Structure 1
Amino acid sequence: MKLFSRLGVAVVLIHGLISQNVSAQSNLNYSTSWIGNSFGFGDGKWMQQDIQAISVGADGTIYTNSPWDESGSEIAAYRAGDKLAIAGSTHGWGAAGGDAVAVNHTYLYGAMSIGNQSNALVGADYPPANQTWYGITRRTLAKLATGAPFSGGIGNSANATKNSFLAVETVTTGIDASIRGLAATDSELYVADTYGNRIVVYDAQTMQPLRSWSVVSPARIAIDTDSTLWVIGGFGTGSLSILHFRADGTALAGPLPLPAGTVPTDLTITPTGQLLVADNGVSQQILVFNKGADGQMQAGASIGTRNGIFHPVRGVPGDVRFNGITGIGVDPAGNLYVAQNGEGPRAPGSASVGQGAVLESYVYGTRVLNWRLYGLSFVDSGTFDPATPASVYTGSKRFTLNYGQPVGHEWSYAAFTLDRFDYPDDPAFHEPRGVRGEPMVRRFDGRRFLYTLDSGAHYLNVYRFDAAHGEIAIPSGLLAQNPLPGAWPAAQPTYGEWMWRDSNGNGAVDASEISSNPSTGSTVGDGFWWVDESGNVWLATPLSGVREMPLQGLDSAGNPTYTYASSKMFAMPAPFTRLARLVYIASTDTMYLSGFTSGVPWDSTHWKEAGPVLARYENWSTGKPTQVYAISLPWNTQSDPQTTTVGVAVAGDYVFVAELYTDRVDVYDARNGTAVGYMTPGASVGGTSGWVDVYLGISAMRRDNGEYVVLVEDDARAKILMYRWTP
């Protein structure tokens, strides 16, 4: 590796080596829009980021539940394509939503949990030290935010849901004892105590237990027109079945015969008595069973396109092209409702929030779409395809933009690029959060490639595309700064850097395809990856300077090739003592770096920040780069909220810097570092956004008409902010 000395850096002073704080002094004339959510929040609404279960009311209202929504919409109500209400009190202060929901004519019953935040919460409202309650919250349909208390009810004494929680299981914190199935009549509530291996029946009015019986890992429950129960058994065991019981627990005929490969995730009964089974196996369909004259269930024609969203053209969404069905229901008027999250029900012990929520309604008989809602992006950012400003990629999705449409309507959902069936070895599934995020799209050698980062920028994933797989991003490679936690992949080293390249083209991580570089394990950890437009990979290491891994061409399978032996090392340039972000423009040999200096040193409480200083260097690759400027970015760790930076993007003549806590994007002239202005969320998105909670949470592009489009991760409400500004 060739090492360039810091002493070889020529410096051009602009207002001194480090200028005074030049945070933007005036606002810009821009518009705010968004991508990926059916609501912007300007109307006070947002589509939640995950749906694990639904229940359909008699009036066609759909009630949802999930363990987590970043802004507290775990349990919510929707009707006719609109959001009606949020239950609340299922988020924070130890509370979380759950994996099941049921309604009758009066009440909503929602699975939830109550913990004590590592024993920080004490008193009657919270479980004892080191324990968690899993149970049911009861609410009134007339006002979901109001609890329906009952004798023996506990919890939430300080809010409107006081004494409306029933603890079904008390377990050691860390054990997942979530209720996985609920069904209700006006008189009885049926509860799938999955952890306890039993069905428990409660009085729907008094919430007192009536009876119970044993079932191995029960999950979803459907009440038939004859008051018998259909129950998914074996949840989390790898051996799922659909069982049939009388209401008193007496077992009826053997398990429902299912096609090979079926993965049942939900059940519902239509008004005419058909049993519908959501299949999250490869078919991605809704199986239909008709009751014969002998009372036995007979398979009918399935609902939905075979293979769902993975039917050719693979990855393209459309009507009845399902993707990870988590909930189904039919109302008395004959409307079908389908909830999906691109994944299916979360596995026991998983903290997954899915791959983006979709809730849609069809006319049951004709399969004609009534309406559809999206909440598609969470802890993810967007980037532009360099071939067209109308195509935006996130980690697992592609959107098409029509800039002539009104605010909030510029985007349309064009593709889901993640394939869990053909490519279960996709590194994204095995990295923190189990999702793809933070994308970079590059085109070289006449081909398109997707590079993505995990939320902490420890791993750089590489994907290729081909015509046979449609919109699917095929796993192509992985560059890891350190071993992944856990047992995957089995052949990874126990220490240091390593990489994988899919040399046989099968999209699986084979032991023979892994190479390691353990000698640099301590020097590159917690660095930041960047891929330039020519496909060269750069790493801003925290303490050892900048490393380039030049593209070595494509192999026979079409994978970009990188080697440790061909790497080039550039020493830490003045004025930095620690690097945090890097943007390199290959066409002009221009390097932008941000990080920390001796004047404002790094500290571990700001581990994700981009730093207080940004510098530009020309002629970087020559070994004698010229520093054009180094400027101070907004930085005040004593304010409330703190003012710190988290992301850097460069497009055309401008640098865009995202602040972490303060809803603000600062704009600088890329040529001289002068502050130009700033952008904050406008009224269309409620004047707010969540934190930019990832390392690569901002991107920018200059259109041919001179307009700049800036995309910023919105951690709060399942969308990506889009700013449009013409200087």
Structure 2
Amino acid sequence: MLRQPIFSFGVVLTTLFLVGDLARTQTPTLGGYKAPPGVYRTSWVGNTFGGSGGPNGFGYWVQDGVAKLAVSPDGTAFCGVDWDEAGRCVGLYKEGQVNRVLLKGAGKETAWGWNTANRALAVWKDTIYIANEGKQLLRFRWHPGDINSAVFVDETALPAKAVAVAANRRWIVVAYPDAIELRSAQNRRVVRRFPLQGVKDVALTTDDSLWVLAGKNVQRLSVTGQALPGIISHLQDPTAVAISNRNPHQLLVCDNGPRQQILFYDLKPTPRLVKVFGAYSGLMSGQPGEVKPNKLFGLRGANTDAAGNLYVAMSFGNGPNGHCLLRCFAPNGVLKWQVMNLSFVDTFGFDPDSDGSLVFSRDAIFRLDLNKPKPGSEWSLKAFSVPYPQEQHSDRLRYGQSAIVRDLQGRRVLYLIGQYAGGFQIYAFRGNIAYLVGKIGRNDSWAWYVDSHGDIWNGDGPNRSLLCYRFLGWNSQGKPRYDWKNPEVWPWPNDFELVRRVIYNADTDTLYLFGYLRGETIDSWGVIGHTARCYDGWRSGSRKIRWTVSMPVNPHGNDQGQPLTPQAVDVAGDYLFVGMVKPEDNRQYTHIFRVSDGSYVGSLYPGPEVGENAGWQDMPYAVQAYRRKNGEYLVLVEEDWRGKNLLYRWWPNGRQQSANAH
């Protein structure tokens, strides 16, 4: 949907801006929120679905991660995870669609997502079992094949958190890291329990024998715990097992080691490897990082349906930070469909030399085809930038990050900064793969920026100082050079009590400072502060204040119900883009100001393309803006509530309206 500036929202000035003092060069005056000039529309990057479909508890999005997969014979894939920001801790996927109605437990809250947060689930005919993070075994009834039909039945207390669940008509098998527990499917009571160390997963056959993944072996046990003939060894890093829904005498094993493949074993009379699926070494095969259907990674589960279609769930791990990618392959190995979520507490960044056609996250590279008119259709996954599984425990797979990309002397550099700021991790590329080449930072520091020349700015340096670390070129090892011991240093302007963000435009020698002037209330940690100021000629010696303006606030946003200043800010072209921490009037605003005079221009908010839904901005660098050669502005905004980045496409002069309307 394209939005035109033919209306303004009836919100009085004081709900948007704090009143400025007379010493300021300029204080905005306006009658409330309004749309910016020209036209804009909402799109998104990083999730197959945009998040429309209803309020909390309803809607369409792929969940934040996947720790466990179960597949029913009809071809429904169940993905479980211990956290999804909007509560989809159990997602049901069939023929490329996701359930709109979320599963919701009842009773006392013991786990996130209406008690469904889990790392262990199973399905048997019309019953879904979820062993949640609150040590409860939940049961749901559903109509097989109808992904919106699940209804809560009851829950049963467990002695510990489970790592796996399996079920058939007689048994519910609950696996713990150090034990296997068998319960009656009729009354959920414990029938027996036996110790076993290193348990990761369990599969239950039609003859009631167990195939247990413990350590690096898969062993066959009776329901009494007695070892039976048959063991699968020589695995690299097995993560999951499942009995095929097409062939009850076949076991699938996910091996997440260097091979990154799914192994098929015929079980009669003893286990025999009969098939391998996936390119050996996964993402690192062929052109490293390049995404292809048969290049698997982060294997969390796999199984077939009754027709022989194969379902593969992939994630880099660590719950919602590891993403969720689910693929369905036909029996001949051809990809039928896939769905994915590649964003949690993350902000993506534009490659400045791509004219908006390349976007980077902490671990992925996206293409944007900006000629496509349908919102959400512009993006596609090009590659992953992580050498996996070699770096499966690196911080960029474990934690959310904001990505800033710079092209320096013909080489691309990725700068990552986290939810608590503190500086940058610096990565240089070899092909698609980004390798850590440096770090700069300091605890409890929030004001960081990389200008177009690669110089790194720190606005809240020691002793009320502003620092700049110059980019000095590349060394013989392909690493960017910085002299961390000798930055340029300037004192803060005298009237600043605290600097919280800094932006520098190297082309115009313009510096933007954000924070608190003396006498202003410091409202919270991590936000940008009440005041923005623009300086011309910062380095040239002819320094001059161009303007000083008050920033918008959430009127009752902080813990004390007092005004809360914005979370994030960026500059692109002629405009300053300011992202708020919280939605206001159920709208998550990104406000726009002119850099020429600091005047308010208008406000962006999510449109019906994403159900007008958005959560809080958690990242201090939650907004990334870019001006294309044709005058279009692209604005990426963190949106972790339903797992994506919002993409605002704004044409200030309106010239693209007819070509992009729909």
Relative distance call for 1:404 and 1:574 in structure 2 (3 A) is: farther
Counterpart mapping for 1:295-694 below 5 A: 295-343=269-317, 346=318, 352-363=319-330, 365-388=331-354, 389-405=356-372, 406-423=374-391, 426=394, 428=396, 434-435=398-399, 437-466=401-430, 470-482=431-443, 525-541=444-460, 544-603=464-523, 606-638=524-556, 643-662=564-583, 663-694=588-619
Match of 1:279 among 250, 255, 271: 255
2:656 equivalent in structure 1:
none
CA contact under 8 A between 2:445 and 2:460: conserved in structure 1?
Answer: yes
Looking at structure 1, the residues matched to 321 and 564 of structure 2 have their Cα atoms a distance apart, in angstroms, of 31
Looking at structure 2, the residues matched to 692 and 209 of structure 1 have their Cα atoms a distance apart, in angstroms, of 45
Looking at structure 1, the residues matched to 501 and 535 of structure 2 have their Cα atoms a distance apart, in angstroms, of 14
CA contact under 8 A between 1:182 and 1:189: conserved in structure 2?
Answer: yes
1:700 equivalent in structure 2:
625
List per-residue Cα deviations over 1:455-493 (Å, max 9, x = no partner): 211131111112xxx3111111111314xxxxxxxxxxx
CA contact under 8 A between 2:554 and 2:581: conserved in structure 1?
Answer: no
Shift of 1:248: 3.3
Relative distance call for 1:15 and 1:725 in structure 2 (3 A) is: farther
List per-residue Cα deviations over 1:52-78 (Å, max 9, x = no partner): 112112321112211100000001211
Relative distance call for 1:146 and 1:218 in structure 2 (3 A) is: same
2:12 equivalent in structure 1:
none
List per-residue Cα deviations over 1:51-106 (Å, max 9, x = no partner): 11121123211122111000000012111110124213499944231111101112
CA contact under 8 A between 2:581 and 2:618: conserved in structure 1?
Answer: yes
Shift of 1:301: 3.0
Relative distance call for 1:342 and 1:112 in structure 2 (3 A) is: same
CA contact under 8 A between 1:380 and 1:694: conserved in structure 2?
Answer: yes
Relative distance call for 1:424 and 1:438 in structure 2 (3 A) is: same
2:122 equivalent in structure 1:
102
CA contact under 8 A between 2:309 and 2:329: conserved in structure 1?
Answer: yes
Q: Does 1:263 align with 2:263?
A: no
Relative distance call for 1:71 and 1:550 in structure 2 (3 A) is: same
Match of 2:266 among 282, 290, 301: 290
Match of 1:17 among 18, 24, 34: 24
CA contact under 8 A between 2:526 and 2:620: conserved in structure 1?
Answer: yes
Shift of 1:48: 0.2
Looking at structure 1, the residues matched to 466 and 384 of structure 2 have their Cα atoms a distance apart, in angstroms, of 34
Counterpart mapping for 1:7-156 below 5 A: 16-17=23-24, 19-20=26-27, 22=29, 25-28=33-36, 29-43=39-53, 44-84=59-99, 85-89=101-105, 93-96=109-112, 97-114=117-134, 134-142=135-143, 146-148=151-153
Shift of 1:702: 0.8
Shift of 1:16: 4.5
| SS of aligned partner of 1:552 | strand
Shift of 1:697: 0.8
Looking at structure 2, the residues matched to 181 and 424 of structure 1 have their Cα atoms a distance apart, in angstroms, of 22
| SS of aligned partner of 1:309 | helix
| SS of aligned partner of 2:118 | coil
Counterpart mapping for 1:175-254 below 5 A: 177-194=160-177, 197-234=178-215, 240-253=216-229
CA contact under 8 A between 1:265 and 1:278: conserved in structure 2?
Answer: yes
Relative distance call for 1:305 and 1:312 in structure 2 (3 A) is: same
CA contact under 8 A between 1:455 and 1:694: conserved in structure 2?
Answer: yes
1:165 equivalent in structure 2:
155
Relative distance call for 1:568 and 1:60 in structure 2 (3 A) is: same
| SS of aligned partner of 1:109 | strand
**Match for 1:371: what amino acid?**
W
Looking at structure 2, the residues matched to 216 and 591 of structure 1 have their Cα atoms a distance apart, in angstroms, of 59
**Match for 2:387: what amino acid?**
D
Relative distance call for 1:392 and 1:15 in structure 2 (3 A) is: farther
CA contact under 8 A between 2:554 and 2:580: conserved in structure 1?
Answer: no
CA contact under 8 A between 1:423 and 1:474: conserved in structure 2?
Answer: no
Relative distance call for 1:46 and 1:379 in structure 2 (3 A) is: same
CA contact under 8 A between 1:100 and 1:181: conserved in structure 2?
Answer: yes
CA contact under 8 A between 1:699 and 1:710: conserved in structure 2?
Answer: yes
Shift of 1:41: 1.6
Looking at structure 2, the residues matched to 599 and 376 of structure 1 have their Cα atoms a distance apart, in angstroms, of 42
CA contact under 8 A between 2:52 and 2:613: conserved in structure 1?
Answer: no
Shift of 1:144: 6.1
CA contact under 8 A between 2:423 and 2:445: conserved in structure 1?
Answer: no
| SS of aligned partner of 1:438 | strand
| SS of aligned partner of 2:283 | helix
**Which structure: greater strand fraction?**
2
Shift of 1:564: 3.1
CA contact under 8 A between 2:105 and 2:152: conserved in structure 1?
Answer: no
Overall identity of the aligned pairs, in %? 30
Shift of 1:636: 4.5
| SS of aligned partner of 2:234 | coil
Shift of 1:608: 1.7
| SS of aligned partner of 1:684 | helix
CA contact under 8 A between 2:69 and 2:313: conserved in structure 1?
Answer: yes
| SS of aligned partner of 2:259 | coil
Shift of 1:574: 4.9
Shift of 1:313: 1.1
Looking at structure 1, the residues matched to 602 and 83 of structure 2 have their Cα atoms a distance apart, in angstroms, of 36
Looking at structure 2, the residues matched to 584 and 89 of structure 1 have their Cα atoms a distance apart, in angstroms, of 50
Aligned residues: 605
Shift of 1:643: 4.8
Looking at structure 2, the residues matched to 90 and 659 of structure 1 have their Cα atoms a distance apart, in angstroms, of 34
CA contact under 8 A between 1:86 and 1:144: conserved in structure 2?
Answer: no
Q: What RMSD over aligned residues (CA atoms) do the two structures have, in Å?
A: 2.3
Shift of 1:451: 0.7
TM-score, with length taken from structure 2 = 0.87
**Match for 2:506: what amino acid?**
A
Looking at structure 2, the residues matched to 56 and 642 of structure 1 have their Cα atoms a distance apart, in angstroms, of 48
CA contact under 8 A between 1:262 and 1:283: conserved in structure 2?
Answer: no
Shift of 1:426: 4.6
Match of 1:710 among 635, 643, 658: 635
Relative distance call for 1:628 and 1:320 in structure 2 (3 A) is: same
Relative distance call for 1:77 and 1:636 in structure 2 (3 A) is: closer
TM-score, with length taken from structure 1 = 0.79
CA contact under 8 A between 1:106 and 1:186: conserved in structure 2?
Answer: no
**Match for 1:263: what amino acid?**
P
